[in-house]
Every structure is written in structure tokens, then in C-alpha cells.
Structure 1
Amino acid sequence: MSSYKVWFYHGETDAYHVGSTSENVPERVEESRLEEGGVGTVQMVHDAHRELMQEFIEPANIVEEPNLEVKRFYDMLDASKSHLYEGCKEGHSPLYAATRMMNIKTDYNLAENCVDAWADFVKDILPEDNISPASYNEIEKLVSGLGLPYQMIDVCIENCMIYWQSDAEYLACRFCGKPRFQNTSGRSRVAFKHMWYLPLADRLKRLYQAERTAAAMRWHHEHSIDGEIAHPSDAEAWKHFQRIFPSFAEESRNVYLGLCTDGFNPFGKHGRQYSLWPLILKSYNLPLSLCMKREFLFLSILVPGPEHPKRSLDVFLQPLIHELQVLWEHGVQAYDVSWQQNFMMRAVLMWTFRDFPAYGMLSGWTTHGRLSCPYCQDNTDAFQLKHGTKTCWFDCHRRFLPRSHPYRRNKKSFKKNHVVSNGPPPELDGENLLMQLRDFGAEKKTYCGGSVHNPVDGYGEFHNWHKHSIFGVLPYWKNLLLRHNLDVMHVKKNVFDNLMNTVLNVPGKTKDNIKSILDLPSICNRPHLHVLSSGRGPIPRFRLDGDAKDALFRWIVRKVKFPDGYASNLRNYVDNQEGRLSGMKSHDCHVFMQRLLPFAFVNLLPKNEHEAIACNLY
């Protein structure tokens, strides 16, 4: 922590001097110069000029020794700098070899036996006096000295609970009653299911122990914004938090975190069905050039499969939430190598970001059905389609326009004969949301069991709360201006898939189907798009015919090229048999929308339809 020393003295006119221990100041102030009542005068001057003083006070340049834990870490690094063999290249040490081998194993998913053979071969070809690790076991021992542990926690087979803290000694689930361990003949007991938790505090402290990142962790506080939003710290949600918690904001080394999660199949789309959910934390203290790099994305929890966790995700979040509470209320002792000072490091979880289905898993508000919008809630204008049977949000957004906007009185371009006079729904703060949860009786999933979906009063009719999110136990969560964010890449992929499937008229995927055409007369004033006398729908101007589709696919296969690493090879996604683009990743959809759509249809669609697609999506 920064320390200051303040001297006050009287000269011919009362004056004061403020400085740190490193400034050139008088070593002591003679008592004779302090007049009678000088202590009161000093206090008055201090109070009157408090704001002015703060402008000139700077942290004292006090060099401190690292605390015992950090000193042991540095000593371990120093000891590991011994050479692999006499005369080897500078920096080639056993720890360097072990970390490189471990990284290669992880990057290329090598088996342990492969690493054993490879390490033994490397040791064999080096000079005889080398001390290179000869097996995967030796590599693990060296790397474990870095002090970044993980925990393997047993889980109920139905995701009802985790066997952790006060529940660690249970032999069966206290909700569903199913046993914790399998019936095996061996001495060690094997759990049916377990999760992995990687403690966060140790990883955050390492950012301040490394010279490369210690100073960069204060970038969010020290950079100049010039009136532009170049980083989340420049936005209103960040500033709102700092206004509410000024004591946290004063320490520039406190950590601001974001959490993201999504499910994926580790065996690929052609493998067996498996849903694995990693939860990843990132620090927003770092500049944009480092913030999203792979090495600064910290895997915190690995939720096992093969089943989708659904509403029980909160059960797996318990260790992380507990550690976040400790980091907020008490903090942990860390060492800043750039300032060479020990300090108490605290952390805050600013928000989460993921796709819309996972929004419901984290927030507790179900994201499907008529009440799926977490902002409009029961004040929604959504309605159900008669023939399509799906919930529709067409023309639900004109109420967000200014009162005098001409679109509010437009009876033709939106719902026919419909004028919008009502305003937008009120914005609900954290206190109102907590009041809703209390009134409807929504329980925390950690209390009622992850797989036990107790109905909440009024669910689906007045609200969509299915649980009280575990994030609510964080003391600051209700005060945050922005709690949950949608991943724009997922949104872009959904928009791109629906657009291309409709333009290409992919059977079963297009949105321009016969059911949508049958619903059209009761909603819109579009008689030229109604069902024909033959019972078929009209051919819309935005649909590509056979020749246009072939021209588009030939252009993608033969002409479209990107620099290495910019995007995937789009020709691999062209399915000529079904006449569609299939298997595209989110980033590829983003690149296609941003770089190709502005001119992809320029010679394939009429001018108005091409401009509508290009201008609205570019």
C-alpha cells in the first residue's frame, strides 16, 4: 500500500508542505516554529486544502521485500535456472524444458506414453551430464512447483449437488439419494462424476509477480481516453461501479473480471454426443493488446458431460463464487514487482457474457417462450403465430422510438392498421429484481438441488424466473449497471444462418415457408405475398434461383481467398448437393457478413434487395 508523510510548518506567512518520503524535505520541524495552537491550525489547513493536497500526493517509493510466499516462488525460479548440461544455451534449464514439453503436449493433445518416449529420447541424445526430465512424471513434478493447483470435486450423478465444504463427507446425494461412489473391487473409491476447479487468486497474483504484466495490470487506471470508449473502463457501467464503490476504485491494482461460458463437444460434430462446459475468466485491467490473448484467459471451472448441465450450472459455480466473495471482502496479499510493494489485492466480477440460451442458465430467467425477454418481462408485446405456432416479436420495438417519430403512426409498413402510442417498459434495477425473486419464491439451485426443478409461482404467466441465480450472493451484484452480456459472435451466426438459408431456400431451414405465408394476411398489409390460388407461396424477389446459387458457390470455391489465419477456407462449407452453406463457425460467419455480403449479391439479386441486405448487415 502507498504511504505518505506530511509536514506542516509556519513561516512569515502560514504555509504547508506536502510530500512523500522520497522528496527533498526538512528532516524535522523545530518545535519552536510551531506556534501555540499550531496543532489546531494544522488541522484547519489540512481540512481546508484536502482536495488540493490530493492532487500533489504521490505514492512513496518504498521498496519492500516480497512476502514469504512470493519469495519462495522467486527462489524456486532462481534454483531452476541451472543449465541442462555444461555449455548449453543461456536460459535452457530443466524448468524451461518441462514447461515447453507440457505446452506441446497440451497444444497437440499428446498421450502420456508419447511424452514419456519423447522425453526419454531427448535426454538420451543430450550430453551425458544433462539433467533434462526423462518422463512425463518428472515433467509434472517440475511444473507443479509453479504453484498453480487444481481441485477435483465429486458431483452427484444427477447434478443435484457437489461434495464440497460442509457436504464433502456425504456418501449419497442429500436430494436424490443416489450414491456418490461406484461399486468397485479396488481399495480407492471412484466417484460416478466429478468436476475440476482451478483456484483464481493464485493466478491473479502471478500477473503482479511477472515483470511483463505487473505494470500492465494498472493500464485501465492510467490510460488516457480522449473522450472515446476504447476499453470497458471508459464505459458508463464501469464508471457507475466506481462511483458506488470508491474505496475499491482507489486501488488501481484491484482486479476487474469478466466471466464467459459455452458448451461444446470435444469429440467434434461427427463424434458421440457430449456437452462439456468450461467457465473462463479474463482480467479487464490489461490493455486491449493483451486482454484477449490466450495466456490471459483463465480456465476456472470445467463442468463435465456428457449431459447438458441445463439449470444446474449454479451447482458447479459454488467454489468460484465463494472465492470471489473472499476476494471482494478480504482480498489476498500480493506482491507488485513493478512497484516492489506488497498490497492487498481485491477482485470484482463485473459481468458475464455468453449466448442467449446460456443467459437463462446464469441469470435465472428462462429465455424461451412469450416472456423470454429479460428486460420487457411480462410487459411484452410478443404474440403467438396461428399457423407457425411459434412466439413472434414482430413490431415489438416501435415503442422504443421517440414519441414524435413518424414510424409510430405508420399503419402499412409494420402491423397493419396498428398505431403505437405506449412507451418502452421501465428499466428494473437490482433491488427490483431481488424483490421479484422474493415475491415469487424463487430458490437458489444450490439449496434445492440442481436437477430438482421446483415450480415457481406464476412461472410462464407473470414471469420467467426459474431460480435465484447464485451470483446474487455477491454483495455488489445488485448494484451493477450491466450484469449479463450477449456474445455478438453468436448473434451474428444466428442472423447469418437464417439469412443465407432463406435466400438459398434451404428446405426445412428457410424462414420463408408456407406456414409463415399463411400467417402473413392477419399481420401485414402485403397482398402480393399471400398464398396463390394454386396453394403455393409466391416466389420472393430475395430468393436465388438455381443459376444464381451455382454462380454464388462457384465464386466462393474459386475466387474467395483470405490471408493465412484470417478465416477458414470457405470452400469447405459449400454443400452443392443440398444447395447450402453448412458447418460454418461463428468467426467464419462474421467474416462473410463483414467482408463478402456487401458485394456478394450485387449481380445475383435486384438492386433494392441487395442494398437492403448489404446496408443493414455491413
Structure 2
Amino acid sequence: MDKSWMKKPRHTKEYVDGVNEFLKFACENCPIDSSICCPCRKCGLRMMFMPNMVFDHLISYGISQGYTIWHAHGERKGEASYHAIGAQNNNEQINEGSSGMTTILHDVFPMFDPEIVEGTGPEIRVEVGEAGVQYENRQDSNERVNKFYNMLKDVDEPLYEGCTKHTKFSAIVRLWNMKCLGGLSNNIFTELLEFVNELLPPGASLPKNTYEAKKYMNELGLGYEKILVCPNGCMLFWKDNENLETCVVCGASKWKRKESMDESSKKGKRSPAKILRWFPLKPRLQRLFMSSKTSSQMKWHAIGRTNDGVLRHPADGLAWKTFDS
């Protein structure tokens, strides 16, 4: 049985045809109208769904790469057929290397949960044509669905034709990580993007400047909110005080003062004297609990520890328990 489709990008016709063949094989080895194990990367054979639900999961999350013998769906070890590794093309290598990026993307856009697929959320229709998989959002107002599919396309497609190391998504994430860790200014990062774009062959589409890269990364939930602050640090111009022009404590203006400002320039855009960049805690905690890799670690102190009176971890100590209380 040909299983090379398992390493194909999920937007290709070969992958979707393979999913259909897999479901046909699974249904032949199970009772009629019964649930089957879902081998997607999220469920990992831990959940049972109807075949149409399993199809949606395999298209959304991809099939587990280690599930080469379909033992949970009626296949025996002696029946499995294997293929030469050299038959993989560039897109297969890209798909395998970007599995971590796909996991990140699904953590940010958890919109294909079972209850959503069954109809309580946005309805998604998948069509297969000559150009591959076409996704149609029946609720055009749902921008997150469209953003998800745009990024999903960037995860699966190589950065340029023939590239086997990076996709557009992974390249942008890697460059942005360098900017943050290295403390690059916006101007320097824009020059870096311009230079990298000059080096890349035609067809590559990296952001042209820092603004475009920041806008792209904000879709991953990595943005922040700007709050104007009193230049002397007395108060925040926030919530009920957002429309105030001066500090209620020291009377300082929240805008920069220009000594040579004439009447025409006063009508232009004003620059804030000081800005606080607020990174909201709640969505970041939600992100940690949404990720399959970090959720177990986040819950370990509550459900994973051995509470037998023995000091095995600082969390078992009196100081830690006092802090928790």
C-alpha cells in the first residue's frame, strides 16, 4: 500500500487522495457507521470520531508521521509496504522540517476542535481541484479562518522554488527571533530584510520592512498594546484617563513639546512623551495551556507531583506552599 502521501504537503491533491484511500481502508476493517481512531498529529490515536471528522482532522493537522503501520485500523505488520527514502521530493522535506511550525500555527488558531467541526463554529468546506486543496469559508466575516489558511499555505510552501530548508513562515519567524534576541533596531532590521530579499531568487516573498514583518508576527499573538504614560512616571493615560491631555498629579502634558512649533505644525500628528508597551499576561498564559508541548508542564505542579510528604521538589517545601496560599 502506497503511503508516500503521508509526507506530502496537506494542500496537495496527492495528500487528500491518500487520506481518502486511508479512510476507505479503515472503513473496510471496522463495523459500518462506527467511529474510528483519529491518527492526526493532535489526537494521536487517542480519540474516536466518525470518518468525516477524521478527514477534517487529517486535513487540518496532518497525519502522525510515525504511524507507518495502520495497526489501529486493521493493518498487520506483514502487510505494510515501505518505499525508498530517495523518492521524497523537496516539498516532502519541507513538510517534514516544518512540522514544528505547523504545531505553532495550530496552537494559535485552535479552530478545528471537534465541537467546531460538528457545527458550533465556522463552517469550512474543502474542495480538491487541479490546483490542490481549496478552502472555502462559508462565513466570510470570520477573518481568523482566512488568516489561518494564509499562514497554513506559508507553512507548507517552500521559501522559493527548490528551497529545502525553510518555508516563508519559518523564515519570517527565524528572522524575527534574531531581531528580538539581538536587539536590532527597526531601521537595521528593515535594511537586513532588504538585503536578504536582494539575495533571494525571484519568487521569494519575505516582508520588505519591519512594519510588514511586525504585522505578520502579530497574527501569532505576539503583539503588545501601547499605553501613553506621564513623562515623569506619575500615571498612565489609560481606561478612564485615556482622553486626558495632562497628568493629574504633576500637570505635565502627555505629548512632546516642540519649542519652535508654529500654528500649522500644531495641527499635525503629535508624538507621545513616553510610551508603555504592555504585554498582556492572560493570552500568553492561554497560549501555554493551548500548546500540547507546554500544557502538561503548566499543570504539573497541580496534578503531576507526588504528594507523599517527602521533599522531592521545591514546590513541596513550606515556603512554596505559603506562596501558593
TM-score range, shorter chain: 0.3 to 0.5
Normalising by structure 1, we get a TM-score of 0.27
Larger Rg: 1
The structure whose residues are more often helix, as a share, is 2
Higher relative contact order (CA 8 A, sep 6+): 2
Normalising by structure 2, we get a TM-score of 0.48
